[in-house]
């Protein structure tokens, strides 16, 4: 028998479990650990609540969780409740699938002013992440600024612009729905430090903006190169740029505007006691395609600033870390210690990109310890004994299901569930 511990129950963790299960069948026990009593990480806390079709991938993970060789062990924080060294003693291999939950910083003056928040915080707030329940983003002003030209920036801008009616069928949490419904935001400026040809937004996500109930996207044709230049773009990006250009033809007859401001690099954030404006420098592309300041500056009014410029992984004591992700060589960190997904590659790619990652790690592990080989390691039995001795009470598959069923049973009309937003509420459902 072999024992494997996967730390983190998001897409990367579940694809790895699926791959290990396929490779080992009954010859391995696979434990998926998470600091929360409910799994699915990015799917639950990161994917936008109005993108239920993307969340449907969790049905596949459900199947893995239900496999005989796989167990979910929640409510355990690795690096705090159990060390990596202890985990490596107990398991044949430890795979870190902890994602990238922290916001990268802009590193400009004024970033610390109240009213400037990161996308991980904002996304966590509307998705019921317990760490961000009390974020209370300032929505009483008319002008919000989102920094970044990726899909997360689009998620944030779209959520800020939507009406209550447009959230029907989503699993947005109640506190966010009420706050957004009462929001005074009328202009959402999306700042891109480079141009339309350099966006990291995908066509499906951009296309949605043309069909919003109360908001219209706005572009400035002067930011675009001649249309013939689009021919050299790869097809996905070309489609995105065509969609962007098409926004120029939309009637400007809706109360909210989503303004794409390209070649606009934030220099500093200003305000008396809280954010009031972003000072931006006009940029141009240098020879290498990077943003170069032109010296021309202007201000964009802002009562709320959301930075959506990428994420970093949480360090874990005794695991080499490069400031953004774990130091690894093709997923291998050290003997019997691996990283997958964003913790391995950094925060890029779609949910599905994590699948080949997980399969590759499973292959590496199976090559090092072929199915049929065995060890004396204790796996979950030893882990649970250790946790008990420290007063940590892990949760299991049945606990997770009980929480989920309770969430579904208390859902608002038009919502698939009403998520719990505090750690203690999860534990209360379990009678702890
Ligand atoms: P991303 O795609 O890497 O985009 C980050 C953006 O931030 C880029 O436009 C980047 O501009 C900009 N940026 C970085 N540093 C900056 C700075 N100092 N000042 C101004 N702008 C800065 O990251 P993401 O949006 O966080 O998304 C992460 C991954 O999740 C992506 O692969 C994304 O496609 C995926 N995702 C997918 C979906 C979906 O499929 N619906 C939804 C959300 C996220 P430069 O290009 O100039 O560096």
Task: Compute, in angstroms, the gap from residue 76 CA to the centroid of ligand 1.
Answer: 30
Render pLDDT for 81-102 as a digit per residue (tens, 0 to 9).
999 999 999 999 999 999 999 9
Name the CA radius of gyration of the chain, rounded.
Answer: 23
Q: What is the DSSP letter of 45?
A: H
pLDDT of 358: 97
pLDDT of 218: 98
pLDDT of 82: 98
Q: Average pLDDT of 64-68?
A: 95
For residues 33-44, b (16+ Cβ closer than 10 Å) or e, as one string? bbbbbbbbbbbb
Render pLDDT for 4-45 as a digit per residue (tens, 0 to 9).
999 999 999 999 999 999 999 999 999 999 999 999 999 999
pLDDT of 132: 97
Nearest to 160 by CA among 117, 108, 105, 194: 117
Does residue 192 sit in helix, strand or coil? coil
Q: Are strands 116-118 and 143-147 parallel, antiparallel or unpaired?
A: unpaired
In SS3 terms, 83-124 reads as CHHHHHHHCCEEEECCCCCEECCCCCCCCCCCCEEEHHHHHH
Percent of the chain with pLDDT over 90: 99
In short, whether 207's Cβ falls inside 6 Å of ligand 1 is: no
pLDDT of 284: 98
Question: pLDDT-derived band of residue 281, with 50, 70 and 90 as boundaries?
Answer: very high
Q: What are phi and psi of 166, to 5 degrees?
A: -70, -15
Render pLDDT for 339-357 as a digit per residue (tens, 0 to 9).
999 999 999 999 999 999 9
Task: Compute, in angstroms, the gap from residue 213 CA to the centroid of ligand 1.
Answer: 25
β-partners of residue 189 are: 145, 259
Task: Compute, in angstroms, the gap from residue 265 CA to the centroid of ligand 1.
Answer: 15
pLDDT of 222: 97
Task: Compute, in angstroms, the gap from residue 4 CA to the centroid of ligand 1.
Answer: 33
Task: Compute, in angstroms, the gap from residue 157 CA to the centroid of ligand 1.
Answer: 13
d(CA 356, CA 362): 10
In short, whether 120's Cβ falls inside 6 Å of ligand 1 is: no
In short, whether 353's Cβ falls inside 6 Å of ligand 1 is: no
pLDDT of 101: 95
Render pLDDT for 106-140 as a digit per residue (tens, 0 to 9).
999 999 999 999 999 999 999 999 999 999 999 99
In short, whether 52's Cβ falls inside 6 Å of ligand 1 is: no
Kindly report whether the global pTM for this prediction surpasses the value 0.75.
yes
pLDDT of 336: 97
For a mutational test of ligand 1's pocket, the pick from 148, 293, 343, i.e. the residue with the most ligand atoms closer than 8 A to its C-beta, is 148
Render pLDDT for 143-163 as a digit per residue (tens, 0 to 9).
999 999 999 999 999 999 999
For a mutational test of ligand 1's pocket, the pick from 45, 151, 199, 347, i.e. the residue with the most ligand atoms closer than 8 A to its C-beta, is 151
Chain mean pLDDT for the chain: 97
Render pLDDT for 311-334 as a digit per residue (tens, 0 to 9).
999 999 999 999 999 999 999 999
pLDDT of 233: 98
Render pLDDT for 215-273 as a digit per residue (tens, 0 to 9).
999 999 999 999 999 999 999 999 999 999 999 999 999 999 999 999 999 999 999 99
333 and 319 Cβ atoms separated by less than 8 Å: yes
Nearest ligand 1 atom, CA 348: 32
Percent of the chain with pLDDT over 70: 100
Nearest to 31 by CA among 412, 420, 380: 380
pLDDT of 404: 96
pLDDT of 256: 98
Report the nearest-CA residue for atom 4 of ligand 1.
Answer: 150
């Amino acid at each position: 028998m072999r024992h494997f511990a996967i730390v983190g129950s998001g897409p990367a963790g579940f694809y790895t479990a699926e791959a290990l299960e396929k490779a080992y069948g009954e010859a391995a026990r696979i434990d998926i650990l998470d600091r929360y009593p409910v799994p699915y990480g990015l799917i639950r806390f990161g994917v936008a609540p109005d993108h239920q079709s993307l969340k449907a991938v969790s049905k596949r993970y459900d199947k893995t969780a239900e496999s005989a060789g796989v167990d979910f062990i929640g409510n355990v924080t690795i690096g705090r409740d159990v060390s990596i060294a202890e985990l490596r003693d107990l398991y044949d291999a430890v795979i870190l699938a902890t994602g990238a939950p922290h916001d990268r910083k802009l590193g400009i003056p004024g970033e610390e002013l109240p009213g400037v928040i990161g996308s991980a915080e904002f996304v966590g707030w509307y998705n019921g992440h317990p760490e961000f329940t009390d974020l209370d983003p300032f929505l009483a002003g008319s002008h919000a600024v989102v920094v970044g030209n990726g899909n997360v920036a689009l998620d944030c801008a779209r959520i800020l612009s939507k009406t209550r009616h447009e959230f029907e069928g989503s699993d947005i949490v109640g506190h966010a729905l009420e706050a957004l419904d009462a929001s005074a935001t009328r202009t959402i400026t999306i700042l891109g430090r480079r141009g339309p040809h350099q966006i990291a937004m995908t066509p499906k996500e951009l296309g949605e903006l043309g069909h919003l109930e109360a908001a219209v996207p706005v572009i400035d044709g002067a930011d675009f190169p001649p249309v013939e230049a689009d021919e050299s773009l790869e097809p996905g990006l070309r489609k995105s740029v065509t969609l962007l250009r098409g926004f120029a033809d939309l009637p400007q007859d809706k109360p909210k505007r989503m303004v794409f401001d390209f070649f606009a690099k934030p220099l500093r954030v200003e305000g008396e006691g809280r954010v009031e404006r972003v000072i931006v420098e006009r940029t141009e592309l240098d020879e290498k395609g990077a943003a170069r300041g032109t010296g021309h500056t202007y201000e964009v009014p802002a009562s709320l600033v959301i930075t959506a410029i990428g994420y970093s992984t949480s360090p874990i004591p005794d695991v080499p870390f490069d400031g953004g992700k774990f130091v690894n060589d093709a997923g291998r960190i050290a003997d019997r210690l691996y990283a997958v997904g964003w913790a391995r590659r950094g925060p890029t790619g779609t949910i599905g990109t994590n699948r080949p990652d997980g399969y590759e790690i499973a292959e590496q592990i199976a090559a090092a310890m072929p199915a049929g080989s065995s060890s004396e390691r204790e796996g979950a039995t030893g882990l649970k004994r250790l946790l008990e001795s420290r007063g940590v009470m892990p949760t299991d598959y049945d606990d997770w299901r009980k929480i989920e069923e309770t969430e579904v049973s208390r859902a608002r009309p038009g919502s698939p569930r009403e998520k719990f937003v505090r750690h203690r509420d999860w534990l209360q459902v379990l009678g702890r």
